Amino acid sequence: MKDGLKICTIGGGSSYTPELMNGFIKRFDRLPVREIWLVDVERGQEKLQVVGALAQRMWDAAGHDVTVHLTLDRREALRDADFVTTQFRVGLLEARIKDERIPFSYGMLGQETNGAGGMFKALRTIPVILDIVDEMRELCPDAWLVNFTNPSGMVTESVIRHGGWKRCVGLCNVPIGAMLEEPKLIDKEPDELVFRFAGIDHFHWHRVFSAATGEEVTNQVIEGMLDPSKDDGTPANIHNIPFAREQLEHLGIIPCGYHRYYYLQRDMLADGMREYEGDEGTRAQQVKEVEDQLFELYRDPKLTQMPELLSKRGGAHYSDVATETIAAIYNNANTHIVCSTTNNGAIPDLPADAVVQVSSYVGGAGAQPVAFGPLPTSARGYLQLMWNMQRLVEEAAVAGSYGALLEAVALNPQTPSGADAKRVIDELLLAHKAYLPQFANKIAQLEAEGVHIKDEVVRDLCARGL
């Protein structure tokens, strides 16, 4: 690659952008960045200006001659880019509020990447990411796409499978959080342990080994996780309800924090319903308040580093995994990174062409997955169910197939099939009408039938065109 890298970040007005800049600044000796293009949509223009100004101040304070460009023209930002990072949210946080509140209004989980909410985030996002791939093929055909946009696994698989873009790596901050926090549970440092992950995004498990001896210490880590006085690294956006000891001991591998939505489904639903029915609102409404506070801080012309408040946003360590991935590719470093990539036999329980989230060695040729081997019985069954559900969601997103969507609903443990589940899906279609043109005919049919949205907050957002 040429000296002086051009980085394009789509969704550049995100509150995560200062953390991304911090990651590039820390790795400037390995990543000779010269220009960063932050691109967003018109509705995000004000935030783009605010966060872009902070990004430039961060680079200036670091003493590096890097220019931050701000634009609403995605093609301009993509032209001749070396790396493209994606961290966008179609419909902004108001769309996430809808994704959460509509399922909760029918007593089902409302969550950003799980259940009906996660399915609809994918339906809105996949057509956009495929448009981006088409533009990359024309404007920066040699660029790598590093995706952080959720639901990261489905978005990444769509890029590779439907978009045919092989130079793509999908990322999530959950594995790196575990690798940084879990060593403390057994009085170790991160470099004293070796982690091996396998699954799909937000639905993976891992094992842990001693770097010195090769001895497996997974059970010791599980014992530490069950100690209520210790922090097991569960992401800030997930209620840390303890897993059942006997289940973890029998499983023999460590589930990620998001498995609570499946292993502890009723408890997590009850927790979410309390927020939905209470004054604090759903997680999206809480995040919106944090974002408002963050952007007030970002506006301070004296601020030259990311504020501590950003850690409450839920994406801690994003910059480290994203920029380390780019550094690994650029320098052909073959660095161990947990990412979403093509399976190629790493998990024999899924097809070779499945996009899985696994421990990989990342270098100039992209991610080379590490073989994990067969999963235990329950994990294997759950993984195959969830991966097939996701494939149906991807099909629905690309083809606008209502039938595929209903099949996905029937498979998803968070959307028990029946009249209420269908009602949730229909209301979400109406609520996201502006971002689901592939379902235009079905939405018109629902409107003609007089289907209406039950949740008052969502109705108000729709009435205001949000």
What whole-number distance in Å separates Cα of residue 104 and Cα of residue 285?
13
Strand order in the sheet with 168-170: 67-71, 33-39, 5-10, 83-86, 144-147, 168-170, 335-342, 355-363, 366-369
DSSP states along 175-204: HHHHHHHHHHHTT--GGGEEEEEEEETTEE
Q: Are 429 and 436 in contact (CB under 8 A)?
A: yes
Annotated catalytic residue: which of 16, 258, 261, 298? 258
What whole-number distance in Å separates Cα of residue 200 and Cα of residue 217?
23
Place of tokens 């502006």: 434
Q: Among this protein's residues, is 262 annotated catalytic? A: no
Residue 175 CB neighbours (<10 A): 25
What whole-number distance in Å separates Cα of residue 210 and Cα of residue 448?
62
Strands 33-39 and 366-369, bridge-based pairing: unpaired
For 240, phi then psi, to 5°, come to -85, 70
Place of tokens 């997680």: 283
Long-range contacts of 424-430 (CB under 8 A, 24+ apart): 424/102, 424/103, 424/106, 424/108, 424/116, 425/116, 426/451, 427/102, 427/451, 427/452, 427/453, 427/454, 427/455, 427/458, 428/98, 428/99, 428/102, 428/116, 428/120, 430/462
**Positions marked active-site:** 258
